[in-house]
């Protein structure tokens, strides 16, 4: 029996890998193991709890003030011990986190095959987003299987000379099929009832400092201008993000700062929002499935399919550009309707099944 191991460590990875874990554990042809690094701790654990997944290995690497150097070295040493003990036939990693890069590199050094879920995303700017663009390019070099979420991602990989490339859709859409429910209620949603609810997320490393304060200033200006808007902002645990949020939004009657939400709650907040402002990558994929227009608070995006489809608009981080984009979407009904009805380019919610089918076919044929 072939042994498959999934390694992940952050909340976004967990959201997108847990549906795949459940799909693989339902297959009889292989043994499925889960190793988490704990790069995020509380946020990771809440996702595991919601999906009912208990890891087989937990490296628990998270430490206060951890740097990219700390994460990389701790993950590599921890994963090496797990690989030595278990010798999986293939390890699946996801996306572009430091856990993903370090785990894939450990597999490469140990001669273990790698399957990259959400492969092929590109900005081709090695420092934007940082360090994610480097991480995903490096992992794609190492990978034996590249599970591309879209045709654009597949073309990127083929152009780079990759083999073993498959278009599967995005597993994040699989998660939405199980988390969004019709009868969901929450006190913060009750607070926003009767208003147009704007969901905000902002946390990216390249936006910390002045860019984030410019973004927040623009958002506050628009909210001050339109009294039927309310904003809910689940503030990232990074102290620098919390400091900026408190400084720019503290005391505003129609901007509510809340603790990070578990995935089930967050997806249901998105589903009930009017529009979304975000610098997150995953939300750019989830929103089209929910019919929600998204303004992307970044200068680059590795998800151009959403921009091409018309559901995303890249507005950058300059105050004037964010203000203009936000205000236009609030006032231009035709623009709003076009974005909310744009087609979803990120799949149909069955990516995990496709990946499992590909691995079963590999298992039943010759080894890599």
52 & 80 share domain: yes
Mean per-residue pLDDT of the chain: 94
Percent of the chain topping pLDDT 90: 83
196 & 278 share domain: yes
Report the DSSP beta bridge partners of residue 117: 94, 147
DSSP code for 8: E
Q: Give the whole-angstrom CA distance, residue 367 versus residue 89.
A: 9
Percent of the chain topping pLDDT 70: 99
CATH number at residue 26: 3.40.50.2000
Closest by CA to 100, choosing from 71, 130, 57, is: 71
Q: Which residue segment(s) compose the domain that 310 sits in?
A: 187-340
Assigned domain for 30 exists: yes
Q: Is the separation of the CB atoms in 291 and 341 below 8 Å?
A: yes
Looking at the structure of the chain, the number of domains it has is 2
195 & 145 share domain: no
322 & 359 share domain: no
116 & 204 share domain: no
271 & 127 share domain: no
- Per-residue pLDDT tens over the stretch 312-346: 999 999 999 999 999 999 999 999 999 999 888 89
Closest by CA to 321, choosing from 231, 218, 229, 226, is: 218
DSSP code for 259: P
Q: How much is the pLDDT for 167?
A: 98
Assigned domain for 248 exists: yes
53 & 137 share domain: yes
Q: How much is the pLDDT for 138?
A: 98
- Could you tell me the pLDDT band of residue 219, with boundaries at 50, 70 and 90? very high
The mean per-residue pLDDT over the stretch 136-165 comes to 97
Assigned domain for 288 exists: yes
Assigned domain for 270 exists: yes
12 & 153 share domain: yes
Assigned domain for 67 exists: yes
Phi and psi dihedrals of 55, rounded to 5?
-65, 150
46 & 24 share domain: yes
- Could you tell me the pLDDT band of residue 104, with boundaries at 50, 70 and 90? very high
Assigned domain for 15 exists: yes
Structure tokens at 219: 């958002």
222 & 158 share domain: no
194 & 78 share domain: no
Q: Which residues are catalytic?
A: 96, 118, 132, 203, 205, 236
Phi and psi dihedrals of 280, rounded to 5?
-80, 145
Residue 232 has pLDDT above 60, yes or no: yes
Q: Is the separation of the CB atoms in 314 and 277 below 8 Å?
A: no
272 & 139 share domain: no
Assigned domain for 249 exists: yes
In the chain, where do the E strands start and end? 2-8, 30-36, 57-58, 90-94, 113-117, 145-148, 165-167, 196-201, 229-234, 255-258, 275-278, 294-296, 312-314
Assigned domain for 182 exists: no
- Per-residue pLDDT tens over the stretch 198-207: 999 999 888 9
Q: How much is the pLDDT for 58?
A: 96
Residue 43 has pLDDT above 90, yes or no: no
The whole-model pTM stands at 0.85
């Amino acid at each position: 029996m072939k042994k498959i191991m999934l390694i992940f460590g952050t909340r976004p990875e967990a959201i997108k890998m847990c549906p795949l874990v459940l799909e693989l554990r339902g297959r009889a042809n292989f043994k499925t193991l889960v190793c988490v690094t704990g790069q995020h701790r509380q946020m990771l654990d809440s996702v595991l709890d919601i999906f009912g997944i208990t890891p087989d290995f937990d490296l628990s690497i998270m430490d206060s003030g951890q740097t990219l150097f700390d994460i990389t070295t701790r993950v590599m040493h921890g994963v090496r011990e797990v690989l030595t003990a278990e010798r999986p036939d293939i390890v699946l990693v996801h996306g572009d986190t430091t856990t993903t890069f370090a785990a894939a590199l450990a597999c490469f050094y140990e001669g273990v095959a790698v399957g990259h879920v959400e492969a092929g995303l590109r900005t081709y700017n090695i420092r934007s987003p940082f360090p994610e663009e480097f991480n995903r390019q490096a992992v794609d070099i190492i990978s034996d299987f590249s599970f591309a979420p879209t045709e654009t991602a597949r073309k990127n990989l083929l152009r780079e000379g990759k083999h073993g490339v498959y278009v599967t859709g995005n597993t994040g859409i699989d998660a939405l099929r199980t988390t969004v429910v019709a009868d969901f209620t929450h006190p913060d949603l009750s607070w926003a009832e009767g208003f147009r609810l704007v969901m905000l997320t902002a946390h990216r490393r390249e936006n910390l400092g002045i860019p984030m304060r410019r973004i927040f200033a623009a958002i506050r200006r628009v909210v001050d201008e339109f009294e039927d808007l309310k904003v809910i902002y689940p503030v990232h645990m990074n102290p620098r993000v919390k400091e900026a949020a408190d400084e720019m939004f503290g005391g505003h009657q129609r901007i509510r700062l809340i603790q990070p939400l578990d995935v089930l709650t967050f997806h249901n907040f998105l589903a009930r929002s009017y529009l979304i402002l975000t610098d997150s990558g995953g939300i750019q994929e989830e929103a089209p499935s929910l019919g929600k227009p998204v303004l992307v608070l970044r200068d680059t995006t590795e998800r151009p399919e959403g921009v091409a489809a018309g559901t995303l608009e890249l507005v950058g981080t300059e105050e004037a550009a964010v203000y203009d984009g936000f205000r236009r979407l609030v006032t231009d009904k035709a623009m709003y309707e076009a974005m909310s009805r744009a087609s979803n380019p990120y799949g149909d919610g069955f990516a995990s099944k496709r990946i499992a089918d590909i691995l079963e076919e590999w298992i039943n044929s010759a080894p890599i």
